[in-house]
Structure 1
């Protein structure tokens, strides 16, 4: 954003943090003096709004024609598209989010929006299919959309984060992957940008326009440059022969649910095995260094304060677990009795250790 744009945004909010690339503001009792949709269309590529009462809106702005009309024809309470001559603004909404959500969660998710936008621009439209599947979960008469061969078996970190926040039914995602394995579909036209070829196709006037914009604003993102030089809709007059409908995907739901449960069980088993191995390594290290750990526990007890007693108790509970793991519980009991005898007058410490034997 240039200085003029930042000055205009300042009239929207006097308390906002505004930079050349961002606009951030928190309200307790009032609200923005502008419509978020209009601000997005005019100034920003991505946006995120959340409220304490559970409302969440994510915004992704794309150059006009990035998504074909055939992909945007279904209706959903959680997905809306505002279009202008230059842009398609995608709005992903949650009316009520029941889990705890704070500034840190918002910052992390906001970073994912950049990657999601990049995927959409490059022709990977899985995010829109997510919203279709979410709508289908409670509407079996949903409008059809093109059946395109995207990879729904290997999801990016950004897509996984989106699916978790927006409660996308993973069984339906798995079912869509099964459909694409069984049914004829259109090949996806996604391809990374070849910068040299793109640059060579620009006219001198277009290059001058980019340079002028760069000097005026102080910076120019890759997506902004692509949008400025986009000559026509990438998906103009696209025709589709194969379509995704509720009837097409429904026969695969039961199999998908079974596969998903199996995968989740396998993933949990692997996770528990890793955690078990890590825990056993920790206990082995403690046992191998047990003399130092006993000494450390005594040093903490000698501090004769609550934090010292907490640390000593933690050390002794870990020692107890390590000795048990190594099948040497008798040795622990002997050392523990000696420790108790030495610290017999420290009632607060003894209370913390009452469950050690």
Structure 2
């Protein structure tokens, strides 16, 4: 099997100017490059740059995968977005690069064993903007997911602040992240139990109030924003807030409550039992819905059986493979419908007449051999 590598990066705040695009072109002559994105794949060879360096200099989100199982998701945040206390634990799945301006989070998988292709990559990439926005607004659950995975791997992991986040109701994007990175759901549930029963810090997730923010801007800050807008042609909310941020970056709180292996361990057995019950209930509900849908479809087919017999014969009269396939589908559906309505004798009579009428069509009868 040949090697295959996929890279995709995007700029969410502002644009890549002509100089930046030209610099990127020297890195890859075959990449698709625009004012906001960079995408390339390789069957042989590799990118002539370190992805994390490209991210720090040019982009806000990025994704990489290789067909031997390596996956990296990149999310760049303004410096000081996440407190140092939250990023101090060791994890093979989370790497952090920081400079004076940015925090770059890299979520990694060394060996992904399930099938994965460009469509899957594009689907996950489309979630990264929402995940980045959540992190910037104070929703730090992705980092806690990686802590749980590290804990599940070796049972010993450095403590992180115990902050109240909602781990019982996850958005589609967050669920997608948990699925791709194989986050242990029993531990997620155990963490939710910890937060319900243990002292913890409140999350500082505040809704942006535009009127209040605008009212508090000085004339100098307004001039700065207007100048930046004219220079770039666009100014995102995140950029505007960063340019007018009044509190210093990297100011860590003093945390009193901490998540440790000792804190979460007593809840794991209960969480596993509860998760199994919930999964069994969800499966039973799904099967009940599927059964109801199946019974409705069979009832509809039985009520329209004359039309179905007619359609089966019309398809058989086409005397071609696709026609015989369609006729076979109608007849198998009819068999199930008659069986569901306990009317097998009537089906047997009608089917016998159908076979006699199509006795010369051996290819069709072969498709019906299990009904003969």
TM-score, length-scaled by structure 2: 0.92
Q: Show the 5 A alignment for 1:241-260.
A: 241-260=256-275
Q: 1:48 aligns with which of 63, 66, 82?
A: 63
After superposition, what is the alpha-carbon deviation per residue over 1:219-263, rounded to whole angstroms, capped at 9, x for unaligned? 333333333443444661311000000011011110000000011
Tell me which of 223, 235, 238 is aligned to 2:253.
238
How far, CA to CA, are the matches of 1:233 and 1:318 in structure 2? 69
Instruction: List gaps (5 residues or longer) in structure 2.
Output: 1-14
Kindly tell me: are residues 64 and 232 of structure 1, through their superposed partners in 2, closer, same or farther at Cα, counting changes over 3 Å? Answer: farther
Asked if structure 1 preserves the Cα contact closer than 8 Å seen for 2:79 and 2:250, the reply is no
- Do residues 290 (structure 1) and 266 (structure 2) align? no
Query: How far apart, in 2, do the equivalents of 1:210 and 1:322 lie?
Result: 68
Unaligned runs of 5+ in 1: none
Q: Does 1:182 align with 2:191?
A: no
> 2:167 aligns to what?
152
RMSD value, Cα: 1.5
Alignment of structure 1 residues 1-357 onto 2, 5 Å: 1=15, 2-233=17-248, 236-357=251-372
CA, structure 1 residues 214+17, in 2 after alignment: closer, same or farther (shift >3 Å)?
farther
For the residue of structure 1 that corresponds to 2:154, the secondary structure is coil
- The superposition leaves residues 121-158 of structure 1 with CA deviations (integer Å, 9 ceiling, x where unpaired) of 11111110000000000222210000011111111111
Which region of structure 1 is more displaced relative to structure 2, 191-200 or 59-68?
Answer: 191-200
Distance in 2 of aligned mates of 1:233 and 1:316: 73
For the 8 Å contact 1:16–1:25, the answer to whether it is kept is yes
The separation in 2 between residues aligned to 1:189 and 1:41, in whole angstroms, is: 26
State the SS of the aligned residue for 1:50: strand
* SS of the residue 2:153 aligns to: coil
> SS at the partner of 1:238?
coil
Structure 1 position 331, deviation (Å) = 1.3
Partner deviation per Cα, 1:283-303 (whole Å, 9 max, x = no partner)? 121111111111111111111
Cα distance change, pair 284–238 in 1 and its aligned pair in 2 (3 A): same
Tell me, in whole angstroms, the C-alpha distance in 1 between the residues paired with 2:163 and 2:37. 35
Other structure's SS at 2:100 match: coil
CA distance in 2, matches of 1:235, 1:321: 67
